[in-house]
């Protein structure tokens, strides 16, 4: 049960950004290992927490707290995973197997995403895959925005907020999946 | 490279049309330019019959085949560069299909008839073609963007149905483009008198609180179109090799590479026309009892002209090949080709006048038009200086212009 954790997260929303940033490493440490459960039991809360984090300077946070960067991503990807596994709208968008590596160009943060067309799932995590179809490079807050809905994938690409390498058709198939995920992430469950 | 039988047939049909329908009227039309909308549309309708155009049916086979595109740029420019500019500058109208419902309602029927003339507004009076930092702004207000600013040297501006405007999107803090359709928005244009390309309209445009639907932002059009299941090539009718360059060299840079390669072939077409006339004159015109082509210094001039023409054509073809294969050198080669061929065609057309002597200076002679049209080439779509800086950046990975 994650109710106690949820109460602490709820309480953290009362704090200002500086205080939240200070408390976040400990909070993420406590979430570590319970991320999936937390997302399932308190999806709206996680959505709010990720929303608050988006208002922070992610690159600075990761640079100052490198050990918590992976925990932050685990929470992020747990959210994505849970959103995708129970949502027909998201699953319907997954028509192709696509693997993507993410690399922040302003802090030491790497991540990855993989879609499975047969299972209709999206999984992700920290670190790189050995052989990805696409590589997305850009500022950390843009990469997080791509996942949480703050940055429209196509619009962000056209406005040169990030760069993408790999086959163009994989990129165009990935965009609706990201859009659909981020719409869900932005909507309180 | 060798053209396929189909590409050769395409070129032959185009040459036949240009020689029979455009060549007889070009001198008069250019002298009295710029063309009016209806006259330009007459040519565009004819060219559409040959598979050249920007309507949904024609664009994929025209822009989607690099060689058709460059053959057209060269052959049309051999007869009338202004017509080539009027035609190519209409490219932005392809985006009408993915624009807001009100723009589609107003413009789609025209586009499907091949009669929606387009225009691209990049250059600004105060900032040149610095597309990364446009001073024209787009302010978001509700479901609209409000454009303010000035653009200059906008081809087709007077009669274009849609204008794609580069502007700073204040809501995103990034540069974007906005499709303005003339049925739902109005703006002032002021024709620019110029040295060459007299057959086509170039104007200054002032955007004063011009409102466009939010869905007319280019990045939104792409987002909506891809969300609806379209591929990149459904939106931009370039070959897949070129849209792949959207990823590797950014969308605007890849589009510039495509268009600059067309400009290089345009310069080749102008050179070919000047060379053909100079050679014919050199073998016909007699001085001291023999054709002037028999004089050593005239032969040297012809040598210089032909070398300039052939090296330009080969470099332009290398650029086209790099687009066809999606080579990482596409940006380098297209800038090199645009810069080199533009400068060379000034020399070649100047030499053609030299071969003609005093006759070449007469305004009723085409030589002076070739020279005036050639002299424009090193300026638009990135001056030769800009092309050199792009090539320098591609060679060294060090930017000298930021």
Contacts of A141 in chain B (CB under 8 A): none
pLDDT, residue B401, reads 77
Q: Tell me which DSSP letter residue A98 carries.
A: E
Sheet holding A134-138, edge to edge: A121-126, A110-116, A98-104, A134-138, A163-165
CA nearest A134: which of A160, A113, A155? Answer: A113
Domain count, chain B: 3
Inter-CA distances, B313 with A28, B126, B382, Å: 62, 34, 20
Q: Which of B348, B313, B338 is nearest to B3 (CA)?
A: B313
Question: What is residue B41's predicted lDDT score, i.e. its pLDDT?
Answer: 96
Residues in chain A: 189
Query: Terminus-to-terminus CA distance in chain B, angstroms?
Result: 37
Residue A93 or residue B121, greater confidence: B121
CA atoms within 13 A on the CB side of B36: 3
**Chain A contact set for B222 (CB, 8 A):** 154-155, 158
Q: Cβ–Cβ of A172/B226 closer than 8 Å? A: yes
| Number of Cβ within a 10 Å radius of residue B195 | 11
The CATH code of the domain that includes B387 is 1.20.140.10
Identify whether residues B255 and B385 lie together within a single domain. Answer: yes
CATH placement of domain A1-189: 3.30.1050.10
Q: Please tell me the least confidently modeled range out of B35-44, B119-128, B355-364.
A: B119-128
Residues B137 and B45 in one domain: no
Considering the domain architecture, whether residues B364 and B294 belong to the same structural domain is answered as yes
At residue A189, the pLDDT reads 46
Inspect the interface and report whether the beta carbons of B247 and A176 lie closer than 8 Å.
no
pLDDT score for B131: 63
At residue B132 the predicted structure's pLDDT band, cuts being 50, 70 and 90, is low
The mean pLDDT value of chain B amounts to 94
Summarize the confidence of residues A98-111 as an average pLDDT: 92
Are A160 and B232 in contact (CB < 8 Å)?
A: no
Q: 3-state DSSP: chain B helix, strand, coil percent, rounded to 5?
A: 60, 15, 25
- Specify the DSSP class assigned to residue A34: -
The Cα B333–Cα B323 span in angstroms is 9
State yes or no: pLDDT of B291 exceeds 60.
yes
CB neighbours of B165 closer than 8 A, spacing ≥ 6? B121, B136, B147, B151, B177, B178, B179, B180, B207
Radius of gyration of chain B (CA): 21
Which tens digits make up the pLDDT trace of A33-77?
888 888 888 878 777 777 777 777 888 888 888 777 788 888 888
**Contact by Cβ (8 Å): A28, A72:** yes
Domain extent, residue B335, equals 246-396
Which residues make Cβ contacts (< 8 Å) with residue B276, sequence separation at least 6?
none
Nearest to A171 among B174, B219, B247 (CB): B247
- Domain shared by B226 and B276, yes or no: no
Asked if the Cβ–Cβ distance from B223 to A154 is below 8 Å, we say: yes
Residue B313, pLDDT score: 97
Q: Distance, in angstroms, between A10 CA and closest chain B CA?
A: 31
Dihedral, CA of residue A80, residue A82, residue A85 and residue A86, to nearest 10: -120
Residue B19: pLDDT band by 50, 70, 90 thresholds? very high
Interatomic CA distance for residues A102 and A104, integer angstroms: 7
Q: What is the pLDDT of residues B142-170, one digit of tens each?
A: 999 999 999 999 999 999 999 999 999 99
The verdict on residue B99 lying in a domain is no
**Nearest CB to A168 within list B169, B174, B247:** B247
Which of chain A's residues have a Cβ under 8 Å away from the Cβ of B250?
A: 160, 163
The mean pLDDT value of chain A amounts to: 83
Say whether B247 and A166 touch across the interface (CB within 8 A): yes
- β partners of residue A110: A103
Q: What is the pLDDT of residue B224?
A: 92
Q: For B45-58, give one letter per residue: b (16+ CB within 10 A) or e.
A: eebbebbbbbbbeb
Average pLDDT over residues A15-21: 79
Q: Quote the radius of gyration of chain A (alpha carbons, Å).
A: 16
Query: pLDDT higher for B263 or A177?
Result: B263
Asked if residue B129 has pLDDT above 60, the reply is: no
User: Where among B203, B230, B257 does a domain terminate?
Assistant: B230
In a domain, B236, yes or no: no
Q: Are residues B75 and B124 in the same domain?
A: no
Q: What is the pLDDT of residue B402?
A: 66
> Of A115-119, A158-162, B88-92, B252-256, where does the model show the most confidence?
B88-92
Residues B270 and B189 in one domain: no
Given a cut of 70, whether residue A188 has pLDDT beyond it is no
Contacts of B223 in chain A (CB under 8 A): 152-155, 158, 175, 179
**Dihedrals phi, psi of B204, to nearest 5 degrees:** -95, 135
Q: Secondary structure of chain A: what % helix, strand, coil (to 5)?
A: 60, 15, 25
Minimum CA–CA partner of B227 in chain A: A176
SS3 label, residue A162: coil
Q: CB atoms < 10 A from the CB of B147, how many?
A: 25
Statement to judge: residues B66 and B9 lie in one domain: yes
Which domain-ending residue is among B201, B230, B259? Answer: B230
Does residue B315 have a pLDDT over 90? yes
Q: Which residue has the tokens 């990805």?
A: A132
Q: What angle do CA A37, A38, A44 make, to 5 degrees?
A: 130
Could you give the percent of chain B with pLDDT greater than 70?
98
**Could you tell me if A182 lies within 8 Å of chain B, comparing CB atoms?**
no
Confidence of residue A186 (pLDDT cuts 50, 70, 90): low
Cα–Cα distance measured from residue B100 to residue B107, given in angstroms and rounded to the nearest whole number? 11
| Shared-domain flag, residues B368 and B257 | yes
State the pLDDT at residue B77.
Answer: 98
Residues 148-167 of A with CB under 8 A from B: 152-161, 163-167
Q: Give the pLDDT confidence of B230-272 residue by residue, as tens digits.
A: 988 899 999 999 988 888 888 888 999 999 999 999 999 999 9
Contact at CB, B231 and A169, closer than 8 angstroms: yes
- Residue B164, domain CATH: 2.40.110.10
């Amino acid at each position: 049960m994650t109710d106690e954790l949820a109460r602490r997260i709820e309480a953290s929303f009362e704090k200002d950004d500086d205080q939240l940033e200070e408390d976040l490493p400990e909070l993420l440490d406590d979430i570590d290992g319970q991320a999936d459960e937390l997302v399932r039991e308190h999806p709206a809360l996680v959505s709010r927490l990720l929303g608050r984090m988006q208002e922070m300077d992610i690159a600075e946070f990761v640079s100052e707290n490198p050990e918590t960067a992976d925990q932050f991503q685990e929470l992020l990807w747990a959210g994505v995973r849970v959103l995708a596994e129970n949502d027909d709208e998201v699953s319907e968008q997954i028509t192709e197997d696509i693997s993507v590596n993410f690399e922040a160009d302003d802090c030491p943060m790497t991540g990855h995403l993989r879609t499975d067309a047969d299972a209709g799932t999206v999984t992700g995590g920290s670190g790189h895959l050995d052989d990805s179809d696409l590589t997305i490079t850009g500022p950390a807050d843009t990469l997080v925005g791509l996942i949480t809905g703050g940055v429209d994938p196509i619009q962000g690409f056209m406005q040169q907020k990030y760069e993408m390498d790999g086959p163009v058709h994989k990129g165009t198939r990935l965009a609706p999946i990201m859009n659909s995920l981020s719409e869900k992430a932005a909507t309180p469950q | 490279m060798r053209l396929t039988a189909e590409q050769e047939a395409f070129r032959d049909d185009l040459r036949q049309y240009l020689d029979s329908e455009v060549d007889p009227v070009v001198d008069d039309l250019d002298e009295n330019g710029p063309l009016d909308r209806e006259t330009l549309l007459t040519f565009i309708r004819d060219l559409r019959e040959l598979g050249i155009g920007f309507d949904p049916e024609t664009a994929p086979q025209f822009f989607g085949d690099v060689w058709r595109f460059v053959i057209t740029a060269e052959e049309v420019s051999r007869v009338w560069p202004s017509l080539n500019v009027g035609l190519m500058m209409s490219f932005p109208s392809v985006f009408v299909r993915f624009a807001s419902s009100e723009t589609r309602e107003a413009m789609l029927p025209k586009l499907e008839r091949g009669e929606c003339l387009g225009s691209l507004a990049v250059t600004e009076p105060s900032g040149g073609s610095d597309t990364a930092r446009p001073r024209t702004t787009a302010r978001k207000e509700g479901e609209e963007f409000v454009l303010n600013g000035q653009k200059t040297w906008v081809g087709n501006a007077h009669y274009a149905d849609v204008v794609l405007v580069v502007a700073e999107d204040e809501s995103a803090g990034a540069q974007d483009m906005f499709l303005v359709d003339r049925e739902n928005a109005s703006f002032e244009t002021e024709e620019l008198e110029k040295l060459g390309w007299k057959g086509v309209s170039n104007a200054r445009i002032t955007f004063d609180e011009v409102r466009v639907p939010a869905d007319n932002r280019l990045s939104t059009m792409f987002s909506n179109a891809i969300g609806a299941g379209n591929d990149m090539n459904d939106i931009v009718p370039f070959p897949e090799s070129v849209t792949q360059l959207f990823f590797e060299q950014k969308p605007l840079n890849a589009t510039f590479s495509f268009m600059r390669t067309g400009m290089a072939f345009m310069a080749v077409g102008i050179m070919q026309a000047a060379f053909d006339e100079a050679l014919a004159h050199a073998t016909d015109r007699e001085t001291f009892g023999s054709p002037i082509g028999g004089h050593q210094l005239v032969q040297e001039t012809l040598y210089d002209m032909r070398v300039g023409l052939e090296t330009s054509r080969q470099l332009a073809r290398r650029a086209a090949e790099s687009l066809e294969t999606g080579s990482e050198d596409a940006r380098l080669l297209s800038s090199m080709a645009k810069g080199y061929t533009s400068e060379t065609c000034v020399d070649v057309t100047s030499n053609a006048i030299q071969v003609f002597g005093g006759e070449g200076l007469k305004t009723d002679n085409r030589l002076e038009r070739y020279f005036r049209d050639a002299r424009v080439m090193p300026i638009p779509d990135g001056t030769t200086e800009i092309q050199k800086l792009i090539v320098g950046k591609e060679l060294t990975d060090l930017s000298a212009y930021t």
